[in-house]
């Protein structure tokens, strides 16, 4: 029997759109209750202590926030089911669950990460006739995959979503013979000169060359209380949730342009907005002028959020202030914009050289400190992070790997 699915959404909420699309792709229908359009739906959530959208009820069980993994489990969605249903979710079909045959194989080239860097590398590696594998723990969650619009990728005019662009790349790599599996590389062993080992929860992959293309979207470590209160006062999206905090006090934590933008949006709803900047300045192009002009906004530099506390919903924050004193602030909600700046390379340990921020160190051929191991895209330090740069890195890494695996004197370009 089909489950009863009700989505509480809000206008302009990107994660609401994303989860609706995915439910359709998994073959489910749902009733949508837009809290922006209908105050009754807004009150429904409020009464249940929920201050966030999307909230998806599956047969009465609430999934607060964007929780596709948990929802798929609850709905019994598997890759096989999607293939049988002929779903259009390309990533779900192209990326297979790992089976024993991938662990028996010795691959010529393995990309860790199926974003533009890993996928472009796979196109080149497969065309160079290297036996190629991409491992990605969540192909729809990389930086490009979640980019709402991309208009500057050469040869792709107009605006497409990052996911659409990436799916084209996945199909192209697959057509050239790349195999793609969905799994998480937990650790690596590069001690053997010939065969590198990548440890997944399901088994160990063997590879003659490896490309580290894991991007730089790793969240910093979670703040105490963050997980517990997500959707109950902890939020990541003002467009989705600002209305829940009308005439209330909220904190915004972050040091980027995004955090400033979100604080501005919240100032139109909240009674009071406390902006906490963990350091003494903002990152990049962020500018505080407009925010400073708002009567209901106060900006605190050098204030770090230590804990989020409450009973059923957020009530207080434990802050370390500029004088390094721990103080408690009463608050109704907290919007977090701290994640997304760190390369997700901790699983590498000391296997390759990384700099103090976790970026993998490479030479001009993108070789790391270990022969046969390459890194690129957002996982290495680049002057600017763009999809086209990651894709170009994929080309260099794959052709470097081809030279290594086939013991060529020089890199061999592909002129077709």
Ligand X SMILES: Cc1cc2nc3c(=O)[nH]c(=O)nc-3n(C[C@H](O)[C@H](O)[C@H](O)COP(=O)(O)OP(=O)(O)OC[C@H]3O[C@@H](n4cnc5c(N)ncnc54)[C@H](O)[C@@H]3O)c2cc1C
When binding is defined by CB under 6 A, the residue of 68, 116, 225, 254 that contacts ligand X is 116
Beta bridge partners of 9: 34
82 vs 112, which CB is nearer to ligand X? Answer: 112
User: Any contact of residue 57 with ligand X (CB under 6 A)?
Assistant: no
Q: Give buried/exposed letters for 149-162 (b at 16+ CB in 10 A, else e).
A: ebeebeeeeeebbb
CB of 397 to ligand X, least distance (A): 11
Cβ-based nearer residue to ligand X, 179 or 232: 179
Where are the extended beta strands (E) located within 269-408? 272-277, 297-301, 304-310, 314-320, 326-330, 333-336, 373-375
Q: Which of 21, 34, 78, 141 binds ligand X (CB under 6 A)?
A: 141
Site for ligand X (CB under 6 A): which residue of 296, 302, 315, 386? Answer: 386
Look at the block and give the residue holding tokens 């949508």: 32
- 152 is an interface residue for ligand X by CB under 6 A: yes
How many angstroms separate the CA atoms of 290 and 266, rounded?
A: 13
CB 178 within 8 A of CB 133: yes
Q: What is the spatial order of strands in the sheet that 314-320 belongs to? A: 304-310, 314-320, 326-330
Interface segment toward ligand X; rule CB under 6 A; list 7-15, 148-156, 278-286, 331-339: 148-156
E strands in 268-357: 272-277, 297-301, 304-310, 314-320, 326-330, 333-336
Q: Which is nearer to ligand X, 136 or 402 (CB)?
A: 136
Instruction: Select from 38-46, 214-222, 285-293, 366-374 the region that touches ligand X (CB under 6 A).
Output: 214-222
DSSP states of 36-83: TT-HHHHHHHHHTT---S-EEEETTEEEESS-HHHHHHHHT--HHHHH
Number of residues that bind ligand X (CB under 6 A): 37
Among the listed ranges 134-142, 246-254, 273-281, 324-332, the one in contact with ligand X (CB under 6 A) is: 134-142
Residue whose CB is less far from ligand X, 119 or 310? 119
Closest distance of CB 412 from ligand X, Å? 23
**Closest to ligand X by CB, 160 or 370:** 160
Per-position DSSP letters for 185-207, written without gaps between them: --EEE--SSS-EEEEETTEEEEE
Contact range with ligand X by CB under 6 A, out of 116-124, 246-254, 310-318, 320-328: 116-124
Residues 143, 217: contact at Cβ < 8 Å?
yes
Closest separation in Å from C-beta 264 to ligand X? 17
Min. distance of Cβ 102 from ligand X in angstroms? 14
Q: Is 68 in the site for ligand X (CB under 6 A)?
A: no
The binder of ligand X chosen from 188, 387, 397, 405 (CB under 6 A): 387
Closest CA to 174 of 112, 91, 53: 91
Please pick, from the candidates 63, 377, 397, 404, the single residue that binds ligand X as defined by CB under 6 A. 377
Element (H, E) at 132: strand 132-136
User: 373-375 and 109-112 as β-strands: parallel, antiparallel, unpaired?
Assistant: unpaired
Residue 214 binds ligand X, judged by CB under 6 A: yes
Q: Which of 33, 67, 217, 232 binds ligand X (CB under 6 A)?
A: 217
Q: Which residues bind ligand X (CB under 6 A)?
A: 112-118, 135-139, 141-145, 147, 150, 152-153, 184-185, 213-215, 217, 344, 347, 377-379, 385-388, 390
């Amino acid at each position: 029997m089909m489950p009863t699915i009700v989505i509480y959404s809000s206008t302009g909420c990107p994660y609401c759109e994303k989860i609706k699309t995915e439910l359709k792709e998994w073959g489910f229908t749902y009733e949508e209750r837009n809290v922006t359009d209908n105050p009754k739906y807004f009150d429904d959530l409020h009464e249940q202590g929920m201050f966030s959208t999307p909230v998806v009820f599956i047969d009465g069980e609430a999934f607060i926030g964007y929780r596709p993994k948990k929802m798929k489990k609850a709905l019994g969605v598997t890759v096989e089911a999607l293939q049988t249903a002929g779903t259009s979710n390309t990533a779900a079909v192209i990326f297979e669950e790992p089976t024993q045959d991938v662990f028996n194989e010795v691959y010529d080239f393995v990309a860790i990460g199926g974003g533009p860097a890993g996928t472009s590398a796979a196109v080149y590696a497969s065309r160079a006739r290297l036996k190629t594998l991409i491992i990605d723990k969540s192909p729809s969650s990389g930086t490009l995959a979640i980019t709402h619009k991309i208009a500057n990728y050469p040869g792709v005019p107009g605006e497409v979503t990052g996911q659409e662009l990436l799916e084209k790349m996945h199909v192209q790599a697959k057509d050239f013979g790349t195999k793609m599996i969905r799994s998480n590389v937990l650790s690596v062993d590069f001690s053997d000169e010939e065969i590198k080992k990548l440890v997944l929860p399901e088994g160990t992959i063997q590879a003659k060359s490896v490309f580290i293309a894991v991007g730089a979207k790793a969240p910093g470590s979670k703040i105490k209380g963050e997980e517990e209160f997500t959707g109950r006062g902890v939020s990541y999206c003002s467009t989705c949730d600002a209305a829940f905090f009308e005439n209330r006090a909220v904190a915004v934590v972050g040091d980027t342009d995004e955090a400033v933008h979100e604080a501005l949006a919240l100032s139109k709803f909240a009674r009071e907005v406390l902006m906490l900047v963990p350091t003494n300045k903002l990152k990049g192009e962020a500018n505080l002028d407009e925010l400073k002009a708002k009567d209901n906004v106060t900006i605190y530099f050098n204030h770090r959020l230590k804990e989020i506390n409450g009973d059923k919903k957020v009530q207080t924050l434990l802050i370390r202030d500029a004088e390094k004193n721990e103080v408690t602030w009463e608050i109704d909600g907290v919007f977090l914009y701290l994640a997304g700046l760190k390369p997700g390379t901790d699983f590498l340990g000391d296997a390759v050289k990384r700099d103090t921020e976790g970026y993998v160190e490479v030479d001009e051929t993108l070789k790391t400190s270990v022969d046969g191991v390459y890194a690129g895209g957002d996982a290495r330090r680049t002057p600017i992070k763009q999809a086209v740069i990651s894709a170009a890195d994929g080309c260099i890494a794959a052709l470097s790997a081809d030279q290594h695996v086939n013991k060529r004197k020089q890199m061999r370009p592909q002129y077709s």
